[in-house]
């Protein structure tokens, strides 16, 4: 039940948590950009990457997964950065275990419940005949047609493409479990108040975090600051990695 991880660099611990359908592999280049100043730990959350599979998938469980991993690795406290789904895991972790989190960074995610907005992606992942496809290009072409030539989303999903023991394509995430628990992934959270410094980074072209959300967020994170990446969408860390890394460094100090 232990989480899979990779580590980079030396210095104060910085744990990075990926979003839905992602994995630690999405964050390797960012870890390389931070490793001179921090010991960066990239984790695969449950039902993602090489971490364990489970029929249960919710924010309380995922936060406890991370806390247990920290205890196993002897990490008493760390800076924690989470994007999207990983952002809610990070917020839940900070509320449950405030002594484990020195500073918190939440990338393009709020506390609120979100309406279903992955419908086309979910339908595509349900219908794509992966086991009959022989080349990565064939998968890419299928996704591009199904997702309306949304290059950013297609390239993100392709990072989750792997092969099984028989060399057939498969997803690195546990799609059936994520589909079954989709409502839990969309659900809002109500963590305990976390009074340490917290940074909410959000994309100016994204609708995940809006100015009208700030007051509600501050009631749970009273020392929160909000910074916009003006030309970025939801995948702000992938759209402008140098700026994202610099903003993280500026906040952590």
pLDDT tens per residue across span 26-42: 999 999 999 999 999 99
pLDDT bracket for residue 1 (50, 70, 90): confident
pLDDT bracket for residue 157 (50, 70, 90): very high
For residues 108 and 124, membership in a common domain is answered with: no
- The full length of the chain comes to 253
What is the domain extent for residue 37? 5-114+188-252
CA 239, distance to chain mean position in Å, is 15
Q: Please count the structural domains in the chain.
A: 2
Q: Which of 127, 162, 180 is the last residue of a domain?
A: 180
- Which residue, among 154, 144, 143, 179, has the nearest Cα to 235 in the 3D structure? 154
- Which residue, among 9, 15, 11, has the nearest Cα to 73 in the 3D structure? 15
CATH number at residue 26: 3.40.50.1820
CA atoms within 13 A on the CB side of 146: 21
Query: What is the largest distance, in Å, between two alpha-carbon atoms of the chain?
Result: 52
Q: How far is Cα 43 from Cα 45, in angstroms, rounded to an integer?
A: 6
pLDDT at position 118 is 87
For residues 110 and 200, membership in a common domain is answered with: yes
Could you read off the pLDDT of 56-107 as tens digits, one per residue? 999 999 999 999 999 999 999 999 999 999 999 999 999 999 999 999 999 9
**For 211-225, what is the mean pLDDT?**
97
Rounded to two decimals, the pTM is: 0.96
Could you read off the pLDDT of 171-210 as tens digits, one per residue? 999 999 999 999 999 999 999 999 999 999 999 999 999 9
For residues 99 and 205, membership in a common domain is answered with: yes
Q: How far is Cα 219 from Cα 194, in angstroms, rounded to an integer?
A: 9
For residues 123 and 63, membership in a common domain is answered with: no
* H-run or E-run covering 110: none
Query: Three-state DSSP class for 193?
Result: coil
For residues 148 and 222, membership in a common domain is answered with: no
pLDDT at position 198 is 98
Please give the DSSP secondary-structure letter assigned to residue 208.
S
pLDDT bracket for residue 152 (50, 70, 90): confident
For residues 108 and 205, membership in a common domain is answered with: yes
Could you read off the pLDDT of 114-126 as tens digits, one per residue? 998 888 999 999 9
């Amino acid at each position: 039940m232990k989480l899979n991880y990779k580590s980079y660099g030396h210095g104060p611990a910085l744990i990075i948590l990926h979003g839905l359908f992602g994995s630690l592999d999405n964050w390797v280049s960012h870890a390389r950009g931070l490793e001179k100043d921090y010991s960066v730990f990239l984790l695969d959350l449950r039902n993602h990457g090489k971490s364990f599979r489970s029929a249960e998938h919710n924010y309380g469980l995922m936060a406890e997964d991370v806390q247990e991993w920290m205890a196993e690795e002897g990490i008493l406290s760390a800076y924690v950065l989470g994007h999207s789904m990983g952002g809610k895991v990070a917020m839940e972790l900070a509320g449950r275990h405030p002594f484990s989190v020195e500073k918190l960074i939440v990338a393009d995610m709020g506390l609120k419940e979100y309406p279903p907005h992955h419908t086309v992606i979910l339908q595509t992942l349900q219908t794509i005949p992966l086991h009959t496809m022989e080349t990565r290009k064939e998968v890419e072409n299928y996704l591009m047609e199904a997702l309306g030539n949304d290059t950013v989303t297609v390239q993100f999903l392709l990072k989750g493409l792997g092969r099984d023991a028989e060399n057939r394509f498969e997803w690195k995430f546990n799609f059936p479990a994520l589909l079954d628990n989709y409502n839990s992934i969309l659900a809002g959270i109500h963590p305990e108040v976390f009074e340490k410094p917290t940074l909410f980074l959000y994309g100016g072209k994204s609708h995940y975090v809006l100015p009208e959300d700030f007051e509600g967020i501050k009631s749970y994170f009273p020392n929160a600051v909000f910074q916009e990446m003006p030309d970025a969408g939801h995948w702000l860390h992938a759209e402008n990695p140098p700026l994202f890394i610099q903003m993280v460094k500026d906040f952590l100090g």
